[in-house]
Structure 1
Amino acid sequence: MPYIQRRNAILAMICLFLMLSLSTVWFSYRTDKSNAAAAPPAQKPVPTVFVHGYKGTARSFNGMLGRLEKSGTAEKAMVIRVTKDGMIVVNGEISNRARHPMIQVIFSDNRASFRQTAGWLEKTMHILYTKYDVKEANLVGHSMGGLICTKYIEDTSGRRQYPDIQKLVTIGSPYEGVLTRVFKQNPNNTGDAARDLLPGSVALKALYANKSRFNPHIQVLAIAGVVNKPASGDSLVSLDSALFSRFIVPKKQYTSKIVYGKNAQHSSLHENKRVDRLVADFLWHAKK
């Protein structure tokens, strides 16, 4: 073959190779672009807000949150402290890659009335919505914390700029009040909340009276403790009181669980590993 013909043939092969390569790159680009457009946006994680009870502190939920984090079930993302004058102090952040982020709320005035404490929680949740883009959330409350969460849900019903609550867990929450004789034996039980926690209080009656405001789409798990059979209750809250929320929450949305034994004592419920599992399974279907 003459030199010129060989050269032309080689050039033709090079051009063909370049055209095929460019076509492959273009097709790959178009496919990737099409797939990116078709793929749904990553779903933001739904944080769970933990609210302690009467006289509660950081220690109230530190253990449970630590165990859930250590097991790989969830991640502690934020600690929010509410000062006695209502200032909100936030530490931490919520990553879009977090696995079930947990937020711990701590009230400096842990004996304040239901009204005051629910107001602080309302302010906290509003900040989460407006400044941290939390549009959905779960709530977990121990003892009075569960009552405060319930009041918060009723008080913010139909109002904008608050996270849409998906699930609520109450742990030993006295919807009909505490056992009066046991409660009054402790001289340290003082403050406005102490009056609100007594059976028949105006604050407790209001929770039931306002049940129509409770969002009927929220799933609720009520956890109660029984220390000694056949005795009923966790030593401070009777079984009936802890499960009374069934008269507030729509039947189809309500679930209850009872834990037994010495670790079912009221102040030990948030340290009970059985309670850990119930909470994790209900919130995140993490049952093993």
Structure 2
Amino acid sequence: MKHRSALTTVILAIVIAIVGGFSWHHTQAAQKFVHSNTPTIFVHGWGSSYHAETSMANAAKHADVTNTIVRANVDRNGHVTFNHSIPANATNPIVEVNLQDNKLERYVSSSTSNNYADAYHHGGTYILNVVKALEKQHHYSAINLVGHSMGNLEIANYINDNYPSNKLPKVKHLVAIAGHYNGLAGQKAAEGAIDEQSGKPSQQDPGFTQLLGLREHFPTNTKVLNIYGNYKGKNSDGDVPVNSAKTLKYLVSSRAQSYQEREIRGSKAQHSQLHNNNHQVNQALINFLWTK
């Protein structure tokens, strides 16, 4: 009986140590991050869905940044519904945008220029509708925006079309992942040279030209992180040339509160792999958006 009692005591002590250690780790991890009600809105790319955002959102949750991840479903008419509401006391909530019109087909077919330049503008309206729908849940003074691929062009048009505005929350952080601001691989402007100091391209894609207004009214309180891939040293992630991604600098850096770039190399630098269980990207997001 004494042996059983001693064994029970040892097991109990081990359990307490494990639980206590986990609690300490959880507390220490939580102390590293800002505690804010600012929602972070993730916007996926062409032909994709909220699934492209899940790895990044879950990485934040596993790091104890937040316990709140909701999905904003946007139908082809721009109507927004949420899979559930954001709790009033939620810390660092994440919103995964899920576009039914994920190729902007509704607008490409009627585009007079027969390309995506005009469609991106309408995609920006989808983002506006998500922000307005969030405002109906709670009043937010600020938001963070994270885009991948085409999502970046929708975010850029949202900002270009709606700022400055006292009726919308401020954009606190903007993270661009694989943004093809000056076109895609194979397009002349995208493959052209840029001025490394300013980011100005030698040739301008129609979509880029429509965003030049950002140089005049990009919000000055916004911090920007531009992430792009250099896959196998080809100066491209396979879909987006490095130089096309880096033209974001010309559009926003002269006004942004801060602007920084992060080049990803190796096998995870491929276009789709930049958002798919990519530890480098996930850590960069966590550090930039939420770390004190």
* Same fold? TM cut 0.5: yes
Q: Distance in 1 between matches of 2:62 and 2:156?
A: 29
Normalising by structure 1, report the TM-score. 0.73
Aligned to 2:10: none
Q: Quick one: which of 260, 263, 275 aligns to 2:265? A: 260
Q: Quick one: which of 64, 71, 83 aligns to 1:79? A: 71
1:134 aligns with 2:140: yes
1:273 aligns with 2:279: yes
Q: Quick one: which of 238, 242, 257 aligns to 1:239? A: 242
Q: Quick one: which of 15, 39, 53 aligns to 1:47? A: 39
Aligned to 1:59: 51
Q: Distance in 2 between matches of 1:217 and 1:152?
A: 16
- How far 1:133 sits from its partner (Å)? 1.5
Give deviations 1:61-99, integer Å, cap 9, x for gaps.
Answer: 112212221222233332100001221111222234433
Contact 2:73 2:82 in 1 (8 A): yes
- How far 1:135 sits from its partner (Å)? 2.2
What pairs up with 1:201-220 in 2 under 5 angstroms? 201-220=205-224
Q: Distance in 2 between matches of 1:162 and 1:171?
A: 24
Q: Distance in 1 between matches of 2:67 and 2:145?
A: 15
- How far 1:148 sits from its partner (Å)? 1.3
Larger Rg: 1
Contact 1:77 1:92 in 2 (8 A): no
Give deviations 1:116-152, integer Å, cap 9, x for gaps.
Answer: 2111111211222244222211000001111211111
CA-based RMSD of the aligned residues comes to: 2.0
Contact 1:77 1:93 in 2 (8 A): no
Q: Distance in 2 between matches of 1:247 and 1:224?
A: 16
Contact 1:234 1:265 in 2 (8 A): yes
Q: Distance in 2 between matches of 1:63 and 1:240?
A: 26
Q: Distance in 2 between matches of 1:240 and 1:219?
A: 21
- The AA in structure 1 aligned to 2:219 is N
Contact 2:152 2:177 in 1 (8 A): yes
Aligned to 1:179: 185
Determine which structure has the larger helix proportion and give its number. Answer: 1
- How far 1:209 sits from its partner (Å)? 4.2
Q: Distance in 1 between matches of 2:172 and 2:143?
A: 6
Q: Distance in 2 between matches of 1:160 and 1:128?
A: 16
1:95 aligns with 2:92: no
Contact 1:136 1:166 in 2 (8 A): yes
- How far 1:161 sits from its partner (Å)? 2.4
Give the aligned length.
227
Structure 1, unpaired ranges of 5+: 1-42, 182-198
Structure 2, unpaired ranges of 5+: 1-34, 105-118, 188-202
- The AA in structure 2 aligned to 1:84 is R
1:222 aligns with 2:214: no
Q: Distance in 2 between matches of 1:129 and 1:161?
A: 10
Write out the 4+ residue segments of structure 1 that deviate beyond 6 Å after TM superposition. none
Q: Secondary structure in 1 aligned to 2:139?
A: coil
Q: Quick one: which of 132, 139, 159 aligns to 2:165? A: 159
- The percentage of counterpart residues that share the same residue type is 26
Contact 1:216 1:249 in 2 (8 A): no
- How far 1:105 sits from its partner (Å)? 0.8
